[in-house]
Amino acid sequence: DAGVIQSPRHEVTEMGQEVTLRCKPISGHNSLFWYRQTMMRGLELLIYFNNNVPIDDSGMPEDRFSAKMPNASFSTLKIQPSEPRDSAVYFCASSSGLFTGELFFGEGSRLTVL
Amino acid sequence: GENVEQHPSTLSVQEGDSAVIKCTYSDSASNYFPWYKQELGKRPQLIIDIRSNVGEKKDQRIAVTLNKTAKHFSLHITETQPEDSAVYFCAASNTGNQFYFGTGTSLTVIP
């Protein structure tokens, strides 16, 4: 398996623009997580899905952030409108959801909002 | 919700020495404690984990200990090598689905 695949790897955009980050989890994994990593806050859980259903989105910072998982092999994290404080590395991770424990992370999407 | 605290935030050791990173958690229902290593510019990867029915687990130079009563767990790296330099994250989970991470420890091994 190719692992968790994220795109884009790098995104530079201007304040106010819409940003869409994409994730393809490992085939067969039914739990998907979006994390944000910054120097100040470390790894923050934004939202996670189980069987394509959002289970906990309490970590989503505000209404500008939204996430979807239309099917088992694809998820998006959207920021609209983007702000400079959204600059961070966004990681997608998946797990089999059977309490095997291991989270498999993608390579991350580094977002810079100017 | 769960709150995981991790110390120290930075750690420098001489090659060959041991390194210890400590974490505490708040939710007594947490029962799974993984450790992730993140090399510069790369993704976090699992290096070792422990479940609440075990007090200690070892894998070559890496060991993790868990004290459920005190709600803390630690990562021990012996005979450190330059390639151990990375950021290490502890985490706690009570469902296997939701993981709460510590803020990370940047370990530097000085040759």
Check whether A26 has a pLDDT greater than 90: yes
* Block residue for tokens 């110390």: B7
Cα B33 from Cα B5, distance rounded (Å): 13
Q: What count of Cα atoms within 13 Å lies in the side-chain half-sphere of residue B30?
A: 30
Minimal CA–CA distance to A60: which of A43, A44, A49, A72? A44
Structure tokens at B33: 């404690």
Contact B63, B76 (CB under 8 A): yes
**Residue of A33, A43, A109 to mutate when probing chain B, most B C-beta within 10 A:** A43
Contact A31 B97 (CB under 8 A): yes
- Residues of chain A with Cβ-Cβ distance to B1 below 8 Å are 58
Question: How sure is the predictor about B25, in pLDDT bands with cuts at 50, 70 and 90?
Answer: very high
Task: Reduce the DSSP state of residue A84 to 3 states and report it.
Answer: helix
Contact B97 A107 (CB under 8 A): no
CB neighbour list of residue A66: distance below 8 Å, 6 or more residues apart: A60, A77, A78, A80
- Return the pLDDT at A39: 85
For residue A103, give the nearest of B99, B102, B104 by CB distance.
B99
Contact A105 B34 (CB under 8 A): no
Instruction: Read off the amino acid at residue A110.
Output: R
Contact A106 B103 (CB under 8 A): no
Cα A47 from Cα A93, distance rounded (Å): 11
CA B101, A90, A51, B88 torsion-angle sign: negative
Task: Reduce the DSSP state of residue A6 to 3 states and report it.
Answer: strand
Check whether A97 has a pLDDT greater than 90: no
Q: If you average pLDDT over every residue of chain A, what do you get? A: 92
- Return the pLDDT at B99: 87
What digits encode the pLDDT tens for the residues B91-103?
998 876 678 899 9
Cα B26 from Cα A103, distance rounded (Å): 21
* Residues within 8 A of A (CB atoms), B 59-98 only: 89, 93, 95-98
Return the number of CB contacts < 8 Å for A and B: 57
Check whether B54 has a pLDDT greater than 90: no
Q: How far is A94 from chain B (nearest CA, A)?
A: 10
For residue B97, give the nearest of A35, A50, A107 by CB distance.
A50
> Is residue B103 less than 8 Å (CB to CB) from chain A?
yes
- Return the pLDDT at A99: 61
Measure Cα distances from B69 to A29, A88, B56 in Å: 33, 36, 14
Contact B100 A100 (CB under 8 A): no
A59-75 mean pLDDT: 94
A95-112 mean pLDDT: 85
